[in-house]
Amino acid sequence: MFTPKYPPQDTAPATVPTVQTVYRPMPYTPAHIPTPSAPLAHRPSVQLTAGSTLALVAGGGAAVLVVGAVLVSMLLAVAVTAASVAVCAVVVRSILKGNKR
């Protein structure tokens, strides 16, 4: 019952016909060489002055403070919810314990 049952062996001959391929290299033909294009126009780069650097630092600091305040408020909301659930559990437990008497 638990012994494996294998299919019968194939009786076909084990010869596989081989196909010979002949490698013939293609003659080299150079690709089209594009003509050099005109140089790109000088693009203005961003110039950081002392005032703009200070504004960037202040903006980054404000973003960090805002994100931190949001994360702390979310943590506080979770803590308040957990405390209220714990108080509700104690109240429900005392009510159910009082009913059994």
For the full predicted model, state whether its pTM sits above 0.85. no
Note down the domain range covering 80: 55-101
Beta carbons within 8 Å of 48's beta carbon, 6+ residues apart: 56
* Residue 3 within any structural domain of the chain: no
Would you give the DSSP letter of residue 22? -
Question: How many domains, in total, are found in the chain?
Answer: 1
The answer to whether position 101 is within a domain reads: yes
Q: What value, to the nearest 5°, has the Cα angle with vertex 90 and ends 94 and 84? A: 145
Any domain includes 84: yes
pLDDT along the chain (101 residues), means of 10: 78 68 75 70 76 92 96 97 96 85 60
**Whole-angstrom distance, CA of residue 99 vs CA of residue 92:** 11
